[in-house]
Structure 1
Amino acid sequence: MKITNLSNLILAIFCLVFLNSCKNEEKQSNSSSEENTEKEQVSAENTTEEVPVVLFFGTSLTAGLGLDTAEAYPALIQKKMDSLGMDYSVVNAGLSGETTASGLNRLDWVFKQNVDILVIELGANDGLRGVSLDETRSNLEKIIKIAREKNPEVKIILAGMQIPPNMGEEYTTEFRSLFPELAKEYDLELIPFLLEGVAGDSKLNQQDGIHPTAEGQQILANNVWEVLKDDVQ
């Protein structure tokens, strides 16, 4: 009986030690698991950290109509920033045929992502269609205000535009003045004329005489960069 009781006692002690050992291993495993989870969360936060976004919101000039997307000036700007080691993401939100009115209606899509720098290239199609200058101005003002509501810290660059004198001298002159006036009123940075050095040069435009060739797009990129560079350094 004594031997049996001693065996039982030894067995009981062994079981107790074994159970305690299992509990300690479980605690260590849980602690390690929690630590790994925390590390994974930190890692995930680091890898999903948002890169500043430069969004080009415009017409076929921005979209690069007739060219590969990689030849359009937004892509050239991205290439420029990459070569300089600037950690920015460029979004080309150009759409052929876009007017200020249709652009205004498209803002919800544009601002599904955070936008740090917004380059507005709109108005050319309004001018070519003879849209009321009051309407064009109003639409651009609304776009500017909505952009600032979405992100009060957003930097806005407005691309100036000019049109041929088809609509008459008064309309053409007022259209050209519209962009610097808006830039001054809303404290925007202004690209004086997006097509400077390209407009009217048959060698730098496609057969339609309106849309730049790949070489012309490089000049547009330079025109944009002269203003944009101060905002990304």
Structure 2
Amino acid sequence: MLPMTVIRSSLVAGFALLLSACNSDPATETGRTAPAAPAVRSAAPKPAASSGKKRLLFFGNSLTAGYGVEPEQAFPALVGQKIDSLGLNYEVINAGLSGETTAGGRSRVGWVLRQPVDVFVLELGGNDGLRGIPLTDTRRNLQAIIDTVRRRSPDAQIVLAGMQIPPNLGQTYATDFKALYQEIAEKNQLVLIPFLLEGVGGSRRLNQADGIHPTPAGHRIVARTVWRTLQPLLEVPATE
């Protein structure tokens, strides 16, 4: 497993803004809400008839939801497009919710998992870090989400997306927050994406005018980061 990338000091302000946006009330966000691309659908209110395909579900906050970009430009949709281009037997579901915390995710994960999944990508915790929520609470909520997935879909592969925060609340808290993802992944034998925003966080060019959310180009980089982890799980041969 590759070590987590160390955040350069120049990125601190960008990450602070990023996490602030993820922490905003979803009712106040004004991202576009055009229909999702065919490769990705949102979690439906009622279970749909089985398509015969395996199910890959992204469960997270505004990063997963694709705030501020067209749905087909968000990284879950880009992963779905890659899957479709390779003719893989998977449907991709975007269950991202802007403003989500680990506590909120714990409350709604059972609703999302009314149908079993084969791969579950868990991207939560950044909002907890910004709010200074005790790491014991974040750890407990993430563990509860993982336990629910294991209970509802015992054979699912769970991928945990790591996040980092600036040291606004103290270097010790930021360091322990970063380590929390590695600890949870090791404890539960999960596949870990060391840092979801590798190469994107803090880049003015790769974030929207608000300096917070990735642009379409930023989402393409995030999608490549995610795909590197998903590729072996979906048994896709590596290519140059």
TM interval, short-chain normalised? 0.7 to 0.9
Match of 1:57 in 2: 59
Instruction: Please state how far the C-alpha of 1:48 moved relative to its aligned partner.
Output: 4.9
Cα-to-partner distance string for 1:123-157 (whole Å, 9 max, x where unaligned): 01111111111100000001001100001101000
Whole-Å separation in 1 of the counterparts to 2:217 and 2:165: 21
Output the amino acid matched with 1:181: E
After TM superposition, the structure 1 = structure 2 runs for residues 202-217 of structure 1, keeping only pairs within 5 Å, are 202-217=204-219
TM-score normalised by L of structure 1: 0.78
Letter in 1 for 2:230: L
2: distance between equivalents of 1:111 and 1:149?
Answer: 10
Tell me what 2:107 maps to: 105
For 2:221, the equivalent position in structure 1 comes to 219
Q: Which has the larger radius of gyration?
A: 1
Residue 199 of structure 1 and its aligned partner are, at CA, apart by 0.6
Matches of 1:163 and 1:57 in 2, distance apart? 20
RMSD: 1.2
Aligned residue for 1:53, secondary structure, equals: strand
* Percent identity (aligned): 53
* Structure 2 partner of 1:125: 127
Match of 2:116 in 1: 114
Where does residue 181 of structure 1 map in the other structure?
Answer: 183
Q: 1:48 to 1:198 in 2, by over 3 A?
A: closer
Distance in 1 (alpha carbons) for counterparts of 2:220 and 2:94 = 15
More helix by share: 1
Match of 1:83 in 2: 85
Pair 48,149 (structure 1): closer, same or farther in 2 beyond 3 Å = closer
- Counterpart secondary structure, 2:205: helix
TM-score (norm 2): 0.76
Once the two structures are superposed, residues 74-126 of structure 1 have per-residue CA deviations (whole angstroms, 9 ceiling, x without a partner) of: 00000001111112100000000000000000012210222110000000111
**How many residue pairs get matched?**
187
- SS of the equivalent of 1:127 reads helix
Find the aligned partners of 2:216 and 2:50 in 1 and give their Cα distance: 34
